[in-house]
Amino acid sequence: MTRRPSRLVERGAIGHASAVSVADVATCVFACLPSAKISELVALGPNGVSSGKAVRVYGEMSTIGQQAVERIARGLQARDIATVDAPVSGGPAGARAGTLAIMAAGSAETMTFVAPWLSRMGSRVFPVGERVGAAQTMKLVNNLVLANTMAGTFEAMVFGAKAGLDAVTMIEVMNASTGSSWVTTDIVPRAVLPGTFAFGAATSIIAKDVSLGIAEAQALGVPMWTLEQSARLWQFAMAQGHAHDDMTRLLTMIASWAGVPEAAVVSQDQP
């Protein structure tokens, strides 16, 4: 058992050695995992949820794209297990506080069944239809906007810093003006200005979501000229060895490429 589940067991949680062990005793199983490959293994693999004796509903809370969640749903349906497509947004802080935004898709009966658990994990649940996969699309729409907004905000902040503007002042002005976004109101004040760069999501995760979103948009014949350029920036950060760095580190990467010291993009008043 890894360190994080061990800490939960110490606080009263019940630990299990495998996904099938959980599904042998729980009628509803939720999973939130880092990739489609891992999600499919947990749901459908040899020791996966699909072999469980008790499970009747599986909630896929990962961001893995429409095709992957559809494959999972088909595999589980063959074992009479229903699927709820329910990716989340809000980051680690939202997960700890139970204030995640949850996008959810599934049959009306299944959605009613999982509603009590979803309401504990999130402050808002957004039903987006009965078709499994629709919530994945909604999550990718959200994360494409986030990734693009972060990239543009960080580039603009580096420009302002190199021109001599104070980082805190820039954020205050943007938040009182038309440049305001969740990046400026939450991410930068919480994880950038203090110099911690610890929002909690790795660069690889946001790069994965952007790639998934662009691929699915292209499959629908939707041009993504702006977002494709943003994706190149995230992929370049990955290629430079920053896959496991916090996604907010993109700001210091851009700063280094511009010859701007990190101190110029954080608060000078932090202890």
pLDDT tens digits, one per residue of 186-240: 999 999 999 999 998 999 999 999 999 999 999 999 999 999 999 999 999 999 9
CA distance 41 to 34: 12
Stretch 76-84: mean pLDDT: 97
Burial class (CB in 10 A: 0-12, 13-18, 19+), 219: exposed
CA distance 81 to 110: 10
CA distance 160 to 169: 10
Stretch 108-129: mean pLDDT: 95
What percentage of residues in the chain have a pLDDT greater than 90?
A: 87
Provide the CB-side half-sphere exposure for 267 (13 A, CA). 17
Q: Can you list the positions of beta strands (E) in 45-149?
A: 57-60, 82-85, 88-89, 100-104, 122-127
3-state class (DSSP) for residue 55: coil
Which entry of 37, 53, 139, 208 is annotated as an active-site residue? 139
Stretch 36-43: mean pLDDT: 96
Taking alpha carbons only, the member of 100, 72, 70, 97 closest to residue 87 is 100
Domains recognised in the chain with CATH numbers: 3-130 (3.40.50.720), 137-265 (1.10.1040.10)
Q: 269 pLDDT band (50/70/90 cuts)?
A: low
Phi and psi based region of residue 215 (left: phi greater than 0; alpha: psi -120 to 50; beta: remaining): alpha
> Per residue in 152-178, is it b (16+ CB within 10 Å) or e — as a string?
bbbbebbebbeeeeebbebbeebeeee
Supply the pLDDT for residue 271: 42
Identity at 190, one-letter amino acid code? R
Instruction: Answer whether 148's CB lies under 8 Å from 234's CB.
Output: no
Residue 162 known to be catalytic? no
Q: Is the full-model pTM beyond 0.85? A: yes
What percentage of residues in the chain have a pLDDT greater than 70?
A: 97
CA distance 258 to 163: 11
Scan for tokens 């996008």, then name that residue.
103
Determine the straight-line distance between the first and last CA of the chain, rounded to whole angstroms. Answer: 37
Supply the pLDDT for residue 59: 98
